[in-house]
Amino acid sequence: MKKILLCNWTHRRNCSGGSESRYDCLKQIFPDAELISARDLFGKPKNHIEMAKKMDEYYLKRYEENKNILIIRDAEVGGVLDTSHIPQITMFANPYNSLNEVFSFGRKYWGELIELQKKVKNAIKVATSSFMKKDMEKIGFTPDEIISNPVDIDFFKPGNKEELRKKYKIPDKRVGIWVGDSNPIKNFAMILKMVDVFGDKIFWILVTKNETSIKEKNAKGFSNVDRKTMRDLYNCADFFILTSPIEGYCIAMIEAMACNLPCIVSQAGYFWDFWDPRIGYRIQWNDLSAHIEANKIISKTKTNSSKVIIDRKLDLNTWGEKWKKLIGGINAI
């Protein structure tokens, strides 16, 4: 059995994004695996290509120390140097090419870095969705596997709404929850418009990775929260809303689904893999009137989003079996 190194920029547990959640789940499936954090090893990077080179040098050093290793990394966490002789799996989860079609700022270096992955010729490439497969193909990659992200349904599940609202000082009225970064890529501006449009008819829970000042009267902001708090906040809400134009795969949505929340979902790409009307209601990400209408009717829409998790096999155990099969094939070589 090869020693598995789970390599990512960070492995923070507070307000984890999709990347951190993937590795947290892998650690649950492979408890003997070692979590490797670029940030912990080398501090805050001046740029990502420099950090990726440092990670490649680290991989080469680890391989010299023990050739019986397997690296699992997000694609951009390395790839500057040729490490083709080291067994590795690269995960493609961030749709940079598709993002560049909508947002032209600040992403050029990502494209350069992803292009460098072609140096690593023998890596097994895993996409997190069919949408990510298409994004990869735009720069000449074909994934070997498509393995969607999972949710731990033993952890994320329905809770006592009344008790949790008292705990987090959430008013007893209709409550929506939004999770993301307060930047254009997550369409934070649309949520602020919703807060303004609906006034005191809806109270909003806004959860961000970054510290964000929420001044709106009918909203409460949370940042840097742990998994348990995140689960509690889902269970304070009556519905979840995703406003992003593009997602490689939205972890927050399937966590909300596991808590059986009705979901208003922008047609962000990834969800076509498992969309089901029992999840909720679909909208265009940049259509204000569609957002307003969806918020008006979601409480009348018949949903059972937690059942979709089971039916579409998005649970952690099923996901873990896929990874065990993949890695079992590598160990057999």
Kindly list the domain boundaries of the chain, sorted by start residue.
3-150+316-331, 161-311
Tokens 């922008």 sit at which residue? 266
**What is the distance between the alpha carbons of residues 160 and 151, in angstroms, rounded to a whole number?**
20
Q: What is the dihedral of CA 324, 325, 329, 331, to 10 degrees?
A: 20
Other CB atoms closer than 10 Å to residue 281's CB: what's the count? 19
| Burial readout 146-180 (b: 16 or more C-beta within 10 A, e: otherwise) | bbbbbbbbeebeeeebeebbeeeebeeebbbbbbb
Answer positive or negative: Cα dihedral of 315, 89, 17, 178: negative
Tokens 């939205």 sit at which residue? 250
Tokens of residue 58, six digits: 């680290």
Q: What topology is assigned to 161-311 in CATH?
A: Rossmann fold (3.40.50)
Q: Which long-range contacts (CB under 8 A, 24 or more apart) does 216-223 make?
A: 216/192, 219/195, 220/168, 220/169, 220/170, 223/15
CATH of 3-150+316-331, one of 3.40.50.280, 3.40.1710.10, 3.30.450.20, 3.40.50.2000: 3.40.50.2000
**What is the distance between the alpha carbons of residues 109 and 218, in angstroms, rounded to a whole number?**
39
Closest by CA to 261, choosing from 246, 282, 279, 276, is: 279
Please give the helix or strand (H or E) that residue 177 lies within, else none.
strand 175-180
pLDDT in single tens digits along all 333 residues of the chain: 899 999 998 887 655 567 788 899 999 999 999 999 999 999 987 788 899 999 999 999 999 999 999 999 999 899 999 999 999 999 998 888 888 788 765 556 667 777 788 888 889 999 999 999 998 898 888 999 999 999 999 999 999 999 999 999 999 999 999 998 887 888 999 999 999 999 999 999 999 887 777 888 899 999 888 889 999 999 999 999 999 988 888 889 999 999 999 999 998 877 778 889 999 999 999 999 999 999 999 988 899 999 999 999 999 999 999 999 999 988 766
Same fold? 3-150+316-331, 161-311: yes
- List Cα–Cα distances, 277 to 50, 105, 131, 208, in angstroms: 45, 35, 19, 27
129 and 249 Cβ atoms separated by less than 8 Å? yes
Can you name the residues that pair with 220 across neighbouring β-strands? 205
Can you name the residues that pair with 180 across neighbouring β-strands? 208
pTM of the model: 0.92
